[in-house]
């Protein structure tokens, strides 16, 4: 039983009711009472308030039996909108979504600069554009979450370090909120991807690791249902785990970092050197289909080094589900099987390794999910996978 002052109890009841409405999609007042253990009078008062706020709506269920048709409650997805941002190296991905996480608009903007101040101004301009483009609704654009490919302070307000940009100690939230008055949260991109996997696909998994393989390598770590950030917020920076002592020089200052051998950008660079041209994912897919031997050799080298790091992570965390988020792995046949064949240690234990269904949208979709949860203020969120 929850005890406390009246306002606390009222808010607690509201959060649980709203959470269950989202989770079930359509649910009656009577079923809400059964599931939450709250009496019908409490349910009625809370539902009346939520209807007045336009956060939920009522529909009559169709049925063929005699009698009154039951009234079902649902979240109103168009009461407001959220913006997820993936600030990667040389490009920014934006997704505007409704309150059920359904994408409304998605854009990819290429960057011609790595200057922090210039990128901040571009972010401000783009956010304002989305604010103007936002469909008409009760609350408009309600929350913004930005994924950073680097380390974030535990207060999720500032950047500690972004290796690709060489940004250190940037007060990014404050710099944005000088011009943007909508609530903003800054989070590590891998943490957001892990949150997306939990909310959209693996909501019964409490021990989950998501490995982001893109311009670098980062991981989101969830243990006992909680994201692990570490003391300073550095947890999950596995791309800078040293796997080749005295190896190649990394921008972080060390030598032989994992992402110098197993990031997508490194693999693409090697294939481009062979092809002597810029290539797209479609080009790489064609090379694979054509059984181009040099390309296959590069993939084999890539997967060998990738498996070494995955083995280390499994030994440390013993995850239930290990999600790999990589466009290149998704187009390479049997990539997961090849990785698992290289994990021969009798010590390494895990539940299963899977490829992400969200592909390179996992960060922005995780950002949207965090933004929805922040706005609705519910303790837990379960959403239907988006159509991307």
List, for residues 269-281, the tens digit of each pLDDT value. Answer: 999 999 999 999 9
Position 230 scores a pLDDT of 85
Residue 154 has pLDDT above 80, yes or no: no
CA–CA distance, 287 with 9 (Å, rounded to integer): 61
User: What does the block give as tokens for 99?
Assistant: 């309150």
User: Are 306 and 324 members of one domain?
Assistant: yes
Task: Report the pLDDT value the prediction gives residue 253, as an integer from 0 to 100.
Answer: 87
150 and 90 in a common domain: yes
Structure tokens at 182: 């909508």
| Same domain for 171 and 155 | yes
- Contact between 216 and 164 under an 8 Å Cβ cutoff? The reply is yes
245 domain residue, yes or no = yes
Contacts of 277 (CB under 8 A, 6+ apart): none
Residue 1 lies in a domain: no
CA dist., res. 73 & res. 26, Å (int): 5
| Per-residue confidence (pLDDT) for residue 1, from 0 to 100 | 46
Same domain, 344 and 252: yes
With respect to residue 382, please indicate whether it lies within any of the assigned structural domains. Answer: no
Reference 181, options 127, 136, 137; nearest CA is 127
b/e map of 198-229 (b: 16 or more CB within 10 Å)?
bbbbbbebebbbbbbbbbbbbbbbbeeeebbb
pLDDT digits (tens, 9 = 90+) for 41-61: 999 999 999 999 999 999 876
Q: What DSSP assignment string belongs to 297-360?
A: HHHHHHHHHHHHHHHHHHHHH--SEEEEE-HHHHHSTTHHHHHHHT---SS---SEEEE-SSGG
Task: Report pLDDT for 349.
Answer: 83
Same-domain pairing of 133 and 272: no
pLDDT at 233: 76
Q: Cα–Cα distance between 341 and 112 in angstroms, integer?
A: 41
Is 199 contained in some domain? no
Q: Which of 205, 204, 200 is nearest to 363 (CA)?
A: 200
Q: What is the CATH number of the domain that holds 48?
A: 1.10.10.10
- Are 93 and 108 in contact by the 8 Å Cβ rule? The answer is yes
The span from the CA of 212 to the CA of 214, in Å, is: 6
Residue 313 lies in a domain: yes
Q: pLDDT tens across 308-334, in order?
A: 999 999 999 999 999 999 999 999 999
Instruction: Please state, in angstroms and rounded to a whole number, the distance separating the CA atoms of residues 44 and 128.
Output: 39
- Residues 351 and 232 placed together within one structural domain of the fold: yes
To the nearest whole number, what is the mean pLDDT of the chain? 91
User: Could you tell me the residue range of the domain that residue 101 belongs to?
Assistant: 78-194+362-376
Give percent of the chain above pLDDT 90: 76
- The tens digit of pLDDT for each residue in 83-121 reads 999 999 889 999 999 999 999 999 999 999 999 999 999
CA distance 24 to 17: 11
Provide the phi-psi class of 77: left if phi over 0, else alpha when psi is between -120 and 50, else beta: alpha
What is the count of structural domains for the chain?
3
- Same domain as 281, residue 345: yes
Q: Given 75, 103, 136, which residue is the final one in a domain?
A: 75
| Assigned domain for 64 exists | yes
247 and 282 assigned to the same domain: yes
Q: Sort 325 into a burial class: Cβ within 10 Å, 0-12 / 13-18 / 19+.
A: buried
In a domain, 387, yes or no: no
- Classify residue 4 by its DSSP letter: S
- DSSP helix/strand/coil, 158: coil
Q: 6 in helix, strand or coil?
A: helix
Reading the block at residue 216, the tokens are 């670098």
309 in Cβ contact with 241 (< 8 Å):
yes
Domain stop point among 39, 54, 75: 75
Convert the pLDDT of each residue in 224-264 to its tens digit. 999 998 887 778 889 999 999 989 999 888 999 999 999 99
CATH of the domain at 324: 3.30.420.40
pLDDT at 67 over 60: no
Q: Which residues pair with 60 in a beta bridge?
A: 71
- Residue 63 pLDDT: 58
Residue predicted with more confidence, 264 or 157: 264
Which residues make Cβ contacts (< 8 Å) with residue 67, sequence separation at least 6?
A: none
Half-sphere exposure (Cβ direction) of 385: Cα atoms closer than 13 Å: 13
What is the predicted pLDDT for the residue at 257?
A: 94
Residue 290 lies in a domain: yes
């Amino acid at each position: 039983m929850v005890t406390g002052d009246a306002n606390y109890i009222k808010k607690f009841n509201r959060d649980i009711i709203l959470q269950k409405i989202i989770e079930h999609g359509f649910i009656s007042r009577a079923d809400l009472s059964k599931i939450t253990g709250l009496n019908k009078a409490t349910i009625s008062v809370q539902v009346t308030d939520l209807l007045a706020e336009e956060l939920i709506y009522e529909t009559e269920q169709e049925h063929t039996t005699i009698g009154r048709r039951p009234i079902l409650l649902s979240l109103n997805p168009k009461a407001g909108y959220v913006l997820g941002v993936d600030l990667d190296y040389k490009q920014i991905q934006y997704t505007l979504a409704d309150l059920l996480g359904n994408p409304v608009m998605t854009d990819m903007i290429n960057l011609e600069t790595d200057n922090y101040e210039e990128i901040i101004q571009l972010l401000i301009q783009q956010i304002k554009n989305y604010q103007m483009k936002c469909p008409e609704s009760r609350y408009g654009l309600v929350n913004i979450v930005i994924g950073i490919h680097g380390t974030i302070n535990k207060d999720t307000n500032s950047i500690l370090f972004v290796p690709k940009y060489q940004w250190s100690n940037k007060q990014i939230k404050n710099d944005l909120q000088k011009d943007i008055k909508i609530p903003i949260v800054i989070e590590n991109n891998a943490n957001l991807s892990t949150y997306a996997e939990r909310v959209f696909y693996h909501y019964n998994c409490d021990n989950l690791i998501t490995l982001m393989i893109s311009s670098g390598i980062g991981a989101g770590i969830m243990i006992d249902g909680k994201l692990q950030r570490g003391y300073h917020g550095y947890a999950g920076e596995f791309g800078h785990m040293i796997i080749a002592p005295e190896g190649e020089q990394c921008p972080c200052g060390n030598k032989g970092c994992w992402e110098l051998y197993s990031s997508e950008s490194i693999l693409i660079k090697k294939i481009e050197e062979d092809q002597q041209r810029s290539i797209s994912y479609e080009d790489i897919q064609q090379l694979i289909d054509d059984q181009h031997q040099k390309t296959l050799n590069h993939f084999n080298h890539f997967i060998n080094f990738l498996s070494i790091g995955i083995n280390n992570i499994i030994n440390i965390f013993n995850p239930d589900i290990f999600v790999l988020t990589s466009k290149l792995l998704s187009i390479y046949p049997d990539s997961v099987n090849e990785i698992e064949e290289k994990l021969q240690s009798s010590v390494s234990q895990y539940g299963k390794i899977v490829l992400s269904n969200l592909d390179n949208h996992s960060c922005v979709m995780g950002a949207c999910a965090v933004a929805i949860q922040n706005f609705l203020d519910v303790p837990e969120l379960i959403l239907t996978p988006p159509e991307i």
